[in-house]
Amino acid sequence: MSVSTPSAPVASVPRDRGGPPAARRVRRVRSRFSPWLFLAPALAFFAVFKFWPVIWGVYLSFFHVRPYLGNEWLGWANFSRAFQDPDLRAAVGHTVLDAVVSVAGSMLVGFALALLLESPARHVRILRTAVFLPAVTAMVAIAELWGALLFPGRYGAVNSFLGALGLGAQPFLASPHSSLWTVMLIQIWKAAPYDMVIFIAGLVGIDRQLYESANIDGAGAWQRLRHITIPSLRPITTIVLTLGIIRGLRVFTEINVLTGGGPGGSTETIVTTTFKAATVANDTGYASAISTLLLIATILLTSLTLWWRNRLEAS
Amino acid sequence: MVRVPWRDRVLVASAAGMCAVLAISGCGSSDKSKAEATGPLNVWVRGANDSIKAYQKVFDAFTAKTGIQIKPFMTLTDFETKLSAAATSHKLPDVVVDDAAQLGNFETQGIIQPVDKSAVAGQDQLTDRAWDSAKDLTGKYYAVPFSAQANILLVRSDWLAKLKLQPPKTWQDVATVAKAFTTQDPDGDGKADTYGLDVPGSTTRGYISWYWSSLLWEAGGSYFKPAGNGKFAANLDTPQATQSVQWFEDQFCTNKVVQPSALNDTTTEANKAFQTGVTGMYFTGPYAYATMDATAIKGKYVAVAPPAGPANGQTLAEGTDIYLMAGGKTSEAKKLAEFMITPEAQRLGMTAVPTATIVRLPVNKTVDAATEHQGDDRWKLAQQVYQSDGHYEDINMPNWTALRQATSDGLNALVAKCGDPATALHTLNDKLNSILKTQGVAAG
């Protein structure tokens, strides 16, 4: 620090913000750069594995991609094809239905579980861990497991149980009428515990005095839930909803393992359609165009959710 | 003069480093195939389990003979998907061993090299039918054949005996036996937990169409009709095609004799259903002998000729081809292909590993499957069926896998909804015609 010669005897204050202009400029540069330095490893990682592939994908969506024959410029053709593709339209319908039902379902179940299991007691902690297990299990393993349990014959594990209750054998994943609903149930089973943990974190943060005051005022359990718990959880709900929407729109693994999009295309979603366009039909350009549209839709939906919640918060 | 402190210099250096990382990633898509001109021969094989050991025996023999090292990669799961990914990043292997049905798919991607048949040592020892499975519509060869087969029907012999039934010879017999297997408790456990027919009915890799093809031909139908000048028209809106789909759909929707998960099942699940006594009849390739014999049902099933339909007893024939990949080490790859068709390699592929017959029926005329598999008459049957009734899919089309995928999607949707075959086939026919158009071979 040979440059900083004190101009006045006021150096007794630690972290003096004064000094000559050059030193101030260096400090300013440093304070502006420091956060980026800490972020650099993560940014470099994301740049290589996320941002660059995204940019490259958007670029490829304007081509008929032929790695060994040379790419062919198509302009907007892949995009206009996407808007006219009846299979993709059906897949969008399935995806939206799946996202809405599974996000709402897992939020409701997760919230109910959080209310039931929010307690520091040891036995509740054990129960909470048990309930949380599906959230940490790999989706492929879960899908394989449920695929076996839901064998559609009379002697499938779940159907045997239903039989004991006097219900007939259900086709589950084998019928186009029930396949998507079955997938949604499995998704809720996996995602609800995840939502539960976030809700529990939110519940813990609620000021206990509010409940005590409400008790004194004679509020019942329902009123406490309606007027204290739910309003206090608004920010948390935003997080759960946003994560849910993103998760819902890019649903792939469970469907690819459980049904491969079938039967009769009844569980085909945007990402399974994209995957097939890229790997079965070898049409990387078209797959990239669908991915680009999905990216735009995800950004728009997420922004819309945040804007809506912010407006609600403000009011 | 203001000196920049070292911490700031670190900052600048880091930023420069990051830019370098970005720049490298940006340039990362340049052609890397040139960098791989040396080193062992990269060979990808669609195979799993004991097939890997069998291929290794063939490769070891090749290395011992030529000194050329081989680096194999073998998988059954999403093989073509992985290959597509490799092609996209310009990291193709030198040789690929995969189904003959993939020829058009690979050719349209430009990832395989044409083969000069006359320059392949030992080419005259191969059967003409095998060579036919390695050429496209224009008559150009794009692969070297390695193995051939035709589908046969596996039937649980113990179930037949228990119910005092004979192996089926016609479609009607199949329906009758399937009904009995489903309703008369052939395994005697007191539960209605068995099914007559084992169908891999998923759309993955076009399985349901792959299965149904034999029924189409047995009813006298065909996928396409030639319109001259190398052009074709889809031919699925015919009474023959409708009859075959109607019979197929009846087994699912009316008789309910197919395993209930069929429409989502690939051959992996279908194999398991037969091996574990869930299903009693499985129409599949002779490679299944080894797979099934490695499980508890060894000795409890028989292999019979495909039951005849209204027109004939034609059955799905298939091949395994050796593809020489674009940008690969061509001369060494050709040497491997030439070795794999020699009698020595063909024999190794048939018998070196008893639990995996990677050469089902030899493509080399000087080798005889029945002789090699002495004492196992099932191979004699497989050979007879291939020679008399084997019928290849339309693998010479510019891209057969795209046409097969469309057929599978249509069939799977039809059977899932138990819809009207004639209507569904009419729609499917239009779809196939539109694909033929994109492939440049549509009539009119």
B432 and B304 fall within a common domain? yes
The string of DSSP letters for A253-281 reads: HHHHHHTTT-STTTT--HHHHHHHHHHTS
In a domain, B160, yes or no: yes
Q: Does A280 touch chain B (CB under 8 A)?
A: yes
For the cut 70, the answer to whether the pLDDT of residue B54 exceeds it is: yes
Q: Distance, in angstroms, between A3 CA and closest chain B CA?
A: 7
Chain B hits for A30, CB-CB cut-off 8 Å, are 5, 7-8, 11
Whole-number pLDDT of residue B444: 76
**Among B residues 109-128, those touching chain A with beta carbons less than 8 Å apart:** 109-111
Q: What is the pLDDT of residues B286-301, one digit of tens each?
A: 999 988 999 999 999 9
pLDDT, average across residues B116-121? 96
Q: Is A260 on the interface with B (CB under 8 A)?
A: yes
At B15 the pLDDT is: 42
Nearest CB partner across the interface for A30, out of B7, B261, B405: B7
Predicted ipTM of the assembly: 0.79
Query: Please, which residues 40-59 of chain A have a Cβ atom closer than 8 Å to chain B?
Result: 40, 43-44, 47-48, 52, 56
Whether B295 and B348 map to the same domain: the answer is no
pLDDT in tens, B249-304: 999 999 999 999 999 999 999 999 999 999 999 999 999 998 899 999 999 999 99
Query: Of B4, B326, B416, which is closest to A176 when you measure between CB atoms?
Result: B416
The Cα–Cα gap between A290 and A286 comes to 6
Could you tell me the two tokens for A183? Answer: 């997938």
Look up the pTM and report it: 0.82
pLDDT of residue B174: 98
Q: Do A33 and B81 touch (CB under 8 A)?
A: no
**Residues in B 59-88 with any Cβ partner in A closer than 8 A:** 78, 80-81, 84-85, 87-88
Asked whether the beta carbons of residue A30 and residue B326 sit closer than 8 angstroms, the reply is no
CATH number of the domain bearing residue B210: 3.40.190.10
> Residue B23: which pLDDT band, with cuts at 50, 70 and 90?
very low
Residues B170 and B127 in one domain: no
CB contact under 8 A, B18 and A47: yes
Using the Cβ of B204 and the Cβ atoms of chain A, whether some distance falls under 8 Å is answered with: yes
pLDDT beyond 70 at B153 = yes
* Residue span of the structural domain in which B185 resides: 152-317+395-438
Residues B196, B70, single domain; the answer is no
Q: Is B200 inside any structural domain?
A: yes
Residue B121 lies inside a defined structural domain of this protein? yes
- Domain ranges in chain A are 82-314
Per-residue pLDDT of chain A in tens (315 residues, 90 and over written 9): 344 444 444 444 445 555 677 888 888 888 888 889 999 999 999 999 999 999 999 999 999 988 888 899 999 999 999 999 999 999 999 999 999 999 999 999 999 999 998 877 778 888 888 889 998 999 999 999 998 899 888 778 999 899 889 888 899 999 999 999 999 999 999 999 999 999 999 998 898 899 999 989 988 889 999 999 999 998 888 888 888 888 888 899 999 999 989 898 999 999 999 998 988 888 899 999 999 999 999 899 889 888 887 887 787
Residues B213 and B160 in one domain: yes
Q: Is residue B9 part of a domain?
A: no
Question: Do B142 and B110 fall within a single domain?
Answer: yes
Does B420 lie in the same domain as B271? yes
Tens of pLDDT, residues B9-21: 444 444 444 433 3
The answer to whether A94 touches A269, Cβ cutoff 8 Å, is yes
B54, B110: one domain: yes
Name the DSSP letter for residue A121: -
Task: Using pLDDT thresholds of 50, 70 and 90, give the confidence band for residue B141.
Answer: very high
The CATH number for A82-314, chosen from 1.10.3720.10, 3.10.290.10, 1.20.1560.10, 3.40.640.10, is 1.10.3720.10
What local confidence, expressed as pLDDT, does residue B245 receive?
98
Query: Is 80 exceeded by the pLDDT of residue B159?
Result: yes
Q: Are residues B288 and B421 located together in one domain of the fold?
A: yes
Residue to substitute from A3, A48, A68, A177, interface B, most B β-carbons within 10 A: A68
Q: Do B197 and B266 sit in the same domain of this protein?
A: yes
* Contact between A48 and B21 using a beta-carbon 8 Å cutoff: yes
Number of domains in chain B: 2
Residue B229 lies in a domain: yes
Average pLDDT, chain B: 90
Count Cβ neighbours within 10 Å for each residue of B216-253 and write b for 16 or more, e otherwise. bbbbbbbbbeeeeeeebbbbbbbebbbbbbebbbebbe
Give the C-alpha separation, A182 to A254, whole Å: 11
